[in-house]
Structure 1
Amino acid sequence: MNRRDFLKQTCMLGASAVLAGSAMTSRAYGGANAKKPNIIFFFIDDMGWQDTSEPFHTEVTALNQRYHTPNMEQLADSGMKFTQAYACAVCSPSRISLMTGMNAARHKVTNWTLRPNASPDHPHPTLNPPAWNVNGISPVPDVDRTAYVKTLPMFLQKTGYHTIHVGKAHFGADGLAGEMPENLGFDVNIAGHCAGGPGSYHGTNNFSAAFRNGSRIWDVPDLEEYHGQDIYLNEALTIEALEAVDQAVAADKPFYLYMSHYAIHAPWEKDNRYYQKYIDAGLDDFDATYASMIESMDKSLGDICSHLKSKGIDDNTIILFMTDNGQPSQADRNLPLRGHKLTPYEGGSRVPAMVKWPGVVEPGSVCDDYIIIEDIFPTILEMAGLKDCPQIGGKVDGVSFVPLLRQKPGYPKDRAVFWHFPHNYGTGKPYSSIRKGDWKLIYFHADQRYELYNLAEDIGEANNLFTQRKDIAQRLVEELRLFMIDAEAQMPTYKTSGKPVPLPAFID
């Protein structure tokens, strides 16, 4: 028996024990346990702010008219839509921030992970990347180049939740403890491992890259029963997720479902159920494929919502929807936003987000306050009745946005939020940035250059106001600097001297 099979068997035995003991657990938690809401975090990979028929801008855009996501529209109608939600500009940092409540500068998983001690950074002409936590997060201390943390599902487990992971994990490097969701607080893990993308989306390819002579590290685990079948990965994951939910419901356990789709990450492979209609609408092969993957994801959302209703639990189930970064560079730009995944501009980090909370969130409401990915951690814990949950890995940077959901005071207005990417990868160059109120400042590490934008007046970040508004720039530089000192943010080093790039310290 290999390591994965052993861990999966152990996980299944553990989950069975939890479910078998549900009556005792229910008595232990009493009536309070019965009232705990089920929570679903529906997480999408590489889907941009406008990659949906539900508009998140003040007006309908061309991409909104291209795509077909009726279930996202329904979720917005039944909950609250956030027009200014942010993630990191690349996947692993976002996923670890939501699991820990820490900003990427603090947990130091600032790029994507895969193989032990191997960084995906590309050579830079003048800089080397820092010794970042390339091995991801760890549930045990003293693992080289990892962040030792206590995760969101660990806290939820302790208060009686049955925790379910389905789909992409991407929390830790291959072969290390942080790779496996079972080690990070999930009672059930389906299809999660070290890789950030699937080998293939097609069951006929066994969800493997082998047919392309690709590395087997990308093969999606745990779905062997679908091998050889004409089934799309999104559908197989949804079937498995609903079976896991049914087990929790049958055992009368509140559940947390982390529904983490691999879509719409590369490899871009069409879902044949939806592809042809986009070809017929005049899209080329790539755009039609991309659109079919988006609609396939939306179908999963709809299937889950329908299943909750059929089980009579939709009124006691919270659904949070979000994506982990902006659209990839290969896809059409999410205009009017500038940039795309990996870049410091809004197109890299502004993402669609919605929350349905029956009896709490006003249906069809819209929130224009900005939130960021690390806010998911304290928000879900508060939804579950937990507060003041200490993070062993460091300070929790996230802020619960439950007050926004309740449309009550308590959420800090014009708070500062931060991004930190000390890497050279693809189109992404080393930078740190801050947003506070309407103002956003970017510090580019290589040449210590600044850009300043007023997002309320210039959502497309076309007009750099750094030279005109140095008063505002100086305040933002100082706040960014103080945060980076507090977080012990790692900076790239100069190849010539080995010294780190200076922290932002603009002086006119």
Structure 2
Amino acid sequence: MPVPRFLALLSLLLFAFPVQTWSAPPNVVLLISDDQAWGDYGFMGHEAIQTPNLDKLAEESLTFTRGYVPDSLCRPSLVTIVTGRYPHQHGIVGNDPPPPSDLVGKPKRTITSDPRYLPIRNQYIEHIDDETTLADYLHENLGYTSHQSGKWWEGHFSRGGFTQGMTHGDRTKGGRHGDLGLKIGRDGMEPVLNYIDESVENDSPFFVYYAPFLPHTPHNPPKRLLDKYKDKTPHLPVAKYWAMCEWFDETCGELLNHLEEKNVADNTIVLYVTDNGWINQTERSAYAPRSKRSQYEGGVRTPIMVRWNGKVTPKMDTTHLASSIDLVPTVLAAVGIDVPESFDGINLLDEKAVEARDVIFGEIFEHDIRDMTDPVASLRYRWIIEGDWKLIVPHKPVEEDGKTELFNLADDPHEEHNLAKDNPELVKRLRRRINRWWKVNSRAAATQGS
């Protein structure tokens, strides 16, 4: 029986133009804690702090308990999180640029009030204009919209590639490190939730950058949370900090629950990281040594999580190393965007890549940098973790009295026993690996005779 002419034509068209099955790109939600120690969660075993929402997220995620940020200071750390590049690569290595030479050593208020400092601060932001951020990749390749809220140092949110946001970045109107964006979480979640609603209504893939000023100081938690912790420690400042951690957890829960309510949770990749660590002093709301800004675990270690329901098998990985430089390549690979070969980070969803990694690196810089374009001028320490061994190498032009330190993190997670003198060959080998990663050579160091 002859095939009808229209069926034959239809058959030819189907072969010439095969039917494609399209699926919506996954949404991306990035949760960033601000000043929180790596152990200050319920799922990490803290004896008092309750974080039920993050505990649930950890159970549903590929969770790396041995996660790290290269630098333990918020501004360079945040730029690394959104670019996938080390601070010495993206150039933003400290929180504040150098003042005019005659103001060096003067009080911060004197420096910031000097009209000559404003153009210097604005010039330092220009580093971000040379970077391709996660928001840029998602928008330019797949048409994502994006929303910024919380901590953001790099001027107007649009300079980070975000299509929407809360931070205006005007240094003359308090725009140092987030301005209006710092209201998120503390003063409600409406801007983020409204953005998600709008994206769902428009059937648009979205990227949420949620980096609230939590549990960062000021430690002023709701009374109901502070009352919960006051009897758990003799130190009121510590109780305040613990309550702040739970407050942050509550806001994350509100955001994650909203994804469920909008029926987009299963098609959303959720990532979690902390910008840097924090150990609260007992007598006041301030960070203790060996935490924020330090080269030690209390400053650079953080849990890292990736949740993608139905696509990523939940697992609590207590062995393998992860870094914040991995977040961008992980997302790009997941959504189908080619990962630049120049990236040092890996796709954390690639089991072979995770298994093959045996080392991560980091770098610690000064809070107020010494040079606008030479990162080595402000370098204090470089560090490496290979397996359970961690080597810390001081940069002598800046840290004249700094010690080379070697720790076995499996036996000594709080880095109390320096084993460098007992293992000279290991120190030598690890130092060579650091130099192969980044051998420092700076104009400032040369000037100082190093």
Question: Which TM bucket (shorter chain)?
Answer: 0.7 to 0.9
Q: 2:132 aligns with which of 143, 150, 153?
A: 150
Deviation at 1:103, TM superposition (A): 1.1
Deviation at 1:218, TM superposition (A): 6.0
Which SS does the other structure have where 1:430 is aligned? strand
User: What does the per-residue CA deviation read over 1:106-139, in whole Å, with 9 as the maximum and x for residues that have no partner?
Assistant: 2232221379889x9979xxxxxxxxx976876x
Counterpart code for 1:150: T
Spell out the pairing of 1:246-257 with structure 2 (5 A cutoff): 246-257=197-208
Deviation at 1:388, TM superposition (A): 2.8
User: What does the per-residue CA deviation read over 1:17-58, in whole Å, with 9 as the maximum and x for residues that have no partner?
Assistant: xxxxxxxxxxxxx864x4211110001110111122221xxx
Q: 2:78 aligns with which of 95, 108, 128?
A: 95
Q: 1:322 aligns with which of 258, 269, 273?
A: 273
Greater per-residue helix proportion: 2
Aligned: 1:409 with 2:352: yes
8 Å contact 1:80–1:363 — kept in the other structure?
Answer: yes
Q: 1:499: which partner in 2?
A: 448
Deviation at 1:328, TM superposition (A): 4.6
CA separation of 1:296 and 1:146: change in aligned 2, threshold 3 A: closer
Counterpart code for 1:98: I
Aligned: 1:436 with 2:386: yes
State which structure, 1 or 2, has the greater radius of gyration over its C-alpha atoms. Answer: 2
Which SS does the other structure have where 2:276 is aligned? coil
User: What does the per-residue CA deviation read over 1:118-176, in whole Å, with 9 as the maximum and x for residues that have no partner?
Assistant: 9x9979xxxxxxxxx976876xxxx5x76721111101001121111111112x3xxxx
8 Å contact 2:364–2:382 — kept in the other structure?
Answer: yes
CA separation of 1:451 and 1:364: change in aligned 2, threshold 3 A: closer
The CA distance in 1 between the partners of 2:282 and 2:303, in whole Å, is 16
Deviation at 1:72, TM superposition (A): 1.0
User: What does the per-residue CA deviation read over 1:200-235, in whole Å, with 9 as the maximum and x for residues that have no partner?
Assistant: xxxxxxxxxxxxxxx9456964479xxxxxxx8515
Q: 1:167 aligns with which of 140, 150, 169?
A: 150
CA separation of 1:409 and 1:326: change in aligned 2, threshold 3 A: same
8 Å contact 2:76–2:95 — kept in the other structure?
Answer: yes
Q: 1:51: which partner in 2?
A: 40
CA separation of 1:466 and 1:194: change in aligned 2, threshold 3 A: farther
CA separation of 1:264 and 1:167: change in aligned 2, threshold 3 A: same
Which SS does the other structure have where 1:411 is aligned? helix
Deviation at 1:186, TM superposition (A): 0.5
Counterpart code for 1:155: Y
CA separation of 1:38 and 1:329: change in aligned 2, threshold 3 A: same
User: What does the per-residue CA deviation read over 1:237-257, in whole Å, with 9 as the maximum and x for residues that have no partner?
Assistant: 522101101100000011111
Q: 2:306: which partner in 1?
A: 355
Which SS does the other structure have where 2:185 is aligned? helix
The CA distance in 2 between the partners of 1:50 and 1:136, in whole Å, is 37
Give the alignment's Cα RMSD to 1 decimal: 3.4
Deviation at 1:314, TM superposition (A): 1.1
8 Å contact 1:117–1:134 — kept in the other structure?
Answer: no
Q: 2:161 aligns with which of 180, 185, 198?
A: 185
Q: 1:399 aligns with which of 333, 346, 359?
A: 346
Q: 1:269 aligns with which of 201, 217, 220?
A: 220
Which SS does the other structure have where 1:84 is aligned? strand
The CA distance in 2 between the partners of 1:491 and 1:372, in whole Å, is 29
8 Å contact 2:169–2:176 — kept in the other structure?
Answer: no
User: What does the per-residue CA deviation read over 1:338-394, in whole Å, with 9 as the maximum and x for residues that have no partner?
Assistant: 92111111111001222211012223543521111111111111122112337xxxx
Aligned: 1:344 with 2:295: yes
- TM-score normalized by the length of structure 1: 0.70
Q: 2:12: which partner in 1?
A: none
Q: 2:110: which partner in 1?
A: none
The CA distance in 2 between the partners of 1:375 and 1:220, in whole Å, is 24
Q: 2:30 aligns with which of 18, 41, 45?
A: 41
CA separation of 1:273 and 1:182: change in aligned 2, threshold 3 A: farther
Q: 1:8: which partner in 2?
A: none
Q: 1:73: which partner in 2?
A: 55
8 Å contact 1:84–1:370 — kept in the other structure?
Answer: yes
Q: Which runs of 5+ in 1 are unaligned?
A: 1-29, 124-132, 173-178, 196-214, 225-231, 502-508
CA separation of 1:387 and 1:136: change in aligned 2, threshold 3 A: farther
Q: 2:338: which partner in 1?
A: 387
The CA distance in 2 between the partners of 1:385 and 1:165, in whole Å, is 23
Greater CA drift, 268-277 or 353-362: 268-277
Which SS does the other structure have where 2:414 is aligned? coil
Q: 2:209: which partner in 1?
A: 258
Deviation at 1:414, TM superposition (A): 4.1
Q: Which runs of 5+ in 2 are unaligned?
A: 1-19, 107-119, 369-377
8 Å contact 2:146–2:162 — kept in the other structure?
Answer: yes
8 Å contact 1:114–1:194 — kept in the other structure?
Answer: no
The CA distance in 2 between the partners of 1:160 and 1:416, in whole Å, is 35
Q: 2:430: which partner in 1?
A: 476
Identity %: 26
Q: 1:109 aligns with which of 92, 99, 109?
A: 92
8 Å contact 2:346–2:353 — kept in the other structure?
Answer: no
The CA distance in 2 between the partners of 1:234 and 1:114, in whole Å, is 29
8 Å contact 2:95–2:367 — kept in the other structure?
Answer: no
Which SS does the other structure have where 1:409 is aligned? helix
CA separation of 1:269 and 1:136: change in aligned 2, threshold 3 A: farther
Q: 2:363: which partner in 1?
A: 420
Deviation at 1:489, TM superposition (A): 6.1
The CA distance in 2 between the partners of 1:339 and 1:481, in whole Å, is 24
User: What does the per-residue CA deviation read over 1:247-289, in whole Å, with 9 as the maximum and x for residues that have no partner?
Assistant: 0000001111111111122222222341222224455432222
8 Å contact 1:418–1:434 — kept in the other structure?
Answer: yes
The CA distance in 2 between the partners of 1:105 and 1:322, in whole Å, is 20
Q: 1:452: which partner in 2?
A: 406
CA separation of 1:162 and 1:38: change in aligned 2, threshold 3 A: same
The CA distance in 1 between the partners of 2:80 and 2:175, in whole Å, is 24
8 Å contact 1:89–1:341 — kept in the other structure?
Answer: yes
